Amino acid sequence: MDRSKQNKYSSNEKNDNGDGDSVLNGHFDGMVKRAAGGPQAPGAESAPHRSTSAVMESWKEERTRSLEDNEMSLPSLAAAYTTILRGLGENPQRQGLLKTPWRAATAMQFFTKGYQEKIIDVLNDAIFDEDHDEMVIVKDIDMFSMCEHHLVPIFGRVHIGYLPNKRVLGLSKLARIVEIYSRRLQVQERLTKQIAVAITEALQPTGVGVVIEATHMCMVMRGVQKMNSKTVTSTMLGNFREDPKTRDEFLRLIKS
């Protein structure tokens, strides 16, 4: 993901324009994409006018790869890496590279293991009724992902805050949500929003804020090669978006 500036602040909540190619939590606009020109379901709201609260609970149905799929696809992935090595002018039969295609294929499956996990699997037993309505923040969550444009790492920190609405989430599950969505081919902007929407769909809090600070190796190792550049993205939903005081409190606390 090429960036022309060393420091970028992107507020994703302003980009929810409902165009046909936007992706939310692994689904096009969080809904089943209708065929072009097809009839709209009775009572369905068109994408440009659909609020976040009306998004289908896609977090419950998003696994796209299984462990069995991993086993079946491993030979073809390894063969693809063998082809890459030859294309780079290397000899896949030399001693140091004999097992590299299999190692690389296994590593890539691990880097993208979020495709074989579902949010509901980790949240169902960790949502608790609690009469608490003050801000909850978990900050400095380590994050590793893969740039979908260049297949090189993105790494950094995620800060999450939410205002409970009579229900709270086990704190470690916030980190698990980050892990599930980050272990996929990603762009940082989409990752930020997916985390925020998943928490909103699962808890129905009065507000959610997510900020990600990350380094993109596609900017460091290639392209502009800016070693100290960082990209900052944010998604604010509910009170975090509508109430400046709530938003300012969250931003102040994650920097403290």
- Residues annotated as part of the active site: 147-150, 188, 216, 218
End-to-end Cα, the chain, rounded Å: 29
Question: How far is the C-alpha of 208 from the C-alpha of 159, rounded, in Å?
Answer: 11
Closest of 61, 181, 179, 59 to residue 127, by C-alpha:
59
Token duo for residue 195: 């985390």
Residue 21's SS3 state is coil
Q: Which two tokens stand for residue 53?
A: 């609260």
Give CA–CA dist 71/74, Å, rounded. 5
Geometric angle at alpha carbon 89, from 87 and 94, rounded to 5°: 110
SS3 content of the chain, % helix, strand, coil (to 5): 40, 25, 35
Separation between Cα atoms, residue 137 and residue 64, nearest integer Å:
30
